[in-house]
Amino acid sequence: MSEAFRITKIHHEPYFNMPAAHLHPMYEIYYLLNGTRKIFLDDSIYILERGDLVFIPMNTIHKTSYVNDRPHERIVINFSDTDVADIKASVPPVSFRNIFLPEPVVHIASVHRDYIESLLNRMLSEYEQRDSYSDINIKNCLQELIIFMIRYSRHKSDESFQAISVTDTLMQDAARYIRTNYKKDLSLDAVAAHVSISPTYFSKKFKSSTGFGYKEYLINVRLQAASDMLLETNASVSEIAEKCGFNNSDHFGTAFKKAKGISPLKYRKNNFRMPLSPAPRE
């Protein structure tokens, strides 16, 4: 298994929130063993119940938060492309970012949960008590889990997700509006007007629903787009800054280094991909 791989099982007491919304350069599978959670993922909000399994692509903004006063328990797996190379090679052209669209959440019917939890517990056992055969067993279980998820998501049961609140729905709409319009000079007032509520109320509710302040989320969306452009185009740093909505390249460079711990040019050099395409035209 790659250095990115890890699997953890954690029990949290009532009212636990993740300290901060975040993203990371590896995939994540989140399985809720019991309890209820809210997850903000990219620009969408989902209420998770026991047996819900979430696939989180690389570099995707996400945060979980509490819904009620019950404790919860979850298993989380992080892994890299290397760990699932066999699947990606044998089922082209699978894109792991879009593999479970239209929804990244799969509700596992009760009849299948013993099977899923058996796979997860086998991985946990091998990960915590490793020997020379553990990596083989972990890799086999991980691939079996992903294949099940792909098949299951294409033949879902009729069981539906718990509906999100009216406020969460408005904040989800706001997040999607930001993601669509991040290149523009986008003010808090403009986004609040889009969802027809006051700026003060919007600011408070956006933070409580998503885990992000308005400006924090906007900058994260812009940095996510800029990271992709750095690796996938030959546009200059100043061009990328302008196309992603930053006032100037200095502001972009400062925000990028604060988030990534590295300058945009070093990020491009360290993560170089071939081939680079021309900068996209507006």
Residues 49 and 135 in one domain: yes
pTM over 0.75: no
Q: How many CB atoms lie within 10 A of CB 49?
A: 16
pLDDT top residue among 153 and 277: 153
Spatial separation of the C-alpha atoms in residues 242 and 233, rounded to whole Å: 14
Alpha-carbon span 230 to 212, nearest angstrom: 25
Same domain, 111 and 185: no
Over range 208-222, report the average pLDDT.
88
Short-list 7, 29, 27, 30, CA closest to 134: 7
More confident of the two residues 155 and 47: 47
Shared domain check, 36 and 139: yes
Among 63, 87, 78, 95, which residue's Cα sits nearest to residue 27? Answer: 78
Using the 3D structure, point to which of 104, 121, 154 is the last residue of a domain. Answer: 154
Residue type, 188: L
Query: Does 215 reside within a domain?
Result: yes
Q: Closest Cα partner for 18 from 56, 64, 66, 61?
A: 64
- If one counts the domains in the chain, the total is 2
Residue pair 109/31 in contact (Cβ under 8 Å)? The answer is no
Q: For residues 86 and 130, which has the higher predicted lDDT (pLDDT)?
A: 130
Any domain includes 160: no
- pLDDT-based confidence at residue 102 (cuts at 50, 70, 90): low
- 48 with 101, same domain? yes
- Identify the CATH number of the domain in which residue 241 sits: 1.10.10.60
Domain membership flag for residue 159: no
The closest of 230, 239, 218, 220 to 265, measured between CA atoms, is 230
Q: Which of 127, 129, 60, 65 is nearest to 97 (CA)?
A: 60
Q: For residue range 192-211, what is the model confidence (pLDDT) as tens digits?
A: 999 899 999 999 989 888 88
> Does 182 lie in the same domain as 148?
no
Residues 145 and 180 in one domain: no
135 shares its domain with 196: no
User: Please, what sign has the CA dihedral across residues 145, 150, 151, 157?
Assistant: positive
Range of the domain at 53: 6-154
Considering the domain boundaries, does residue 280 fall inside one?
no
In a domain, 275, yes or no: no
- At 48 the three-state DSSP class reads strand
With contact defined as beta carbons under 8 Å apart, do 61 and 70 qualify? Answer: no
Whether residue 189 sits in one domain with residue 134: no
Which of 154, 183, 199 marks a domain boundary? 154
279 in any annotated domain: no
| Residue 273 in tokens | 């991909």
User: Are residue 208 and residue 252 in the same domain, yes or no?
Assistant: yes
